[in-house]
Chain A
Amino acid sequence: MKKILTSIILITAIQLSTTAQTLTGQAFLQQTVMGVQQGFGLRIQNQKGWGLGLVHQANMKSAAERAGEKYPFYGIEALVPLTKCGNMRFLFTPKAGLVNEQFFIIMPEVETEIKISDTFSAGITAGIRARQSATGIKVLIHL
């Protein structure tokens, strides 16, 4: 698993370094098995869609069963382009990082990015968190 993750990050970094890059900020909401999480991040991406990013997300309110548990996640994401169709781009966006500053997790995710204007895009995500589906929406601002 460690090797797969390292390979994805390395390939992405190599792809990223070969062409011009853009910086993109993102804010998102994700429905997970722990509850609705809000998050934000910063990603660097080339024109083909390859990229790397930093992500933070946490529950908007404490999980129902446990007071105070917000499952904060800090991690990195890799952006691997899958296909493009008009204004839409499909990406594989696995995330890896620490939850509660202690527990390492990997979240496989796919993202559909819809270009609204040169500055703004919207995104829809589908992923897996704790063996359950996690769906989300996001706003991307190309800086």
Chain B
Amino acid sequence: MPSLSIDLIYAILWTLTGLLTLIFMFLLGYTFWTRVQNKYWNSYRRKFRDSYGPKIFAFLEGNAGQSEADALINKLNRATRDISFFLAMLKEMIEIVKGEEREKLNILIEHPRFIDFFQKNCFPVLKGIS
């Protein structure tokens, strides 16, 4: 009877060890995967900002009109990530420039493509209503 209970204890211990090892391996893999992902997106974001920063500056320096805004925004990939990065840059620019340049930023911010983006991503519930 005592040997049986020891066997049972061993079995439980082995099961627990196995389970914990599995959990540990999963967490390790998950940590590694998220780190790789973060590294990739950080590098992508940096490249995106390096590419679009000068384009936004050039837009502000030029005769910014609707057609120029269209040309700039049409260069953007349709991916949600790209649009988010672009909007984040516009938000930062609002805190840097004022006056005429700030008004030019409004042309970009109020672009129909972003309104469409917000409607699709932020207000999916409204889709069925309208």
Q: Do A and B bind each other?
A: no
**A interface residues, Cβ below 8 angstroms from B:** none
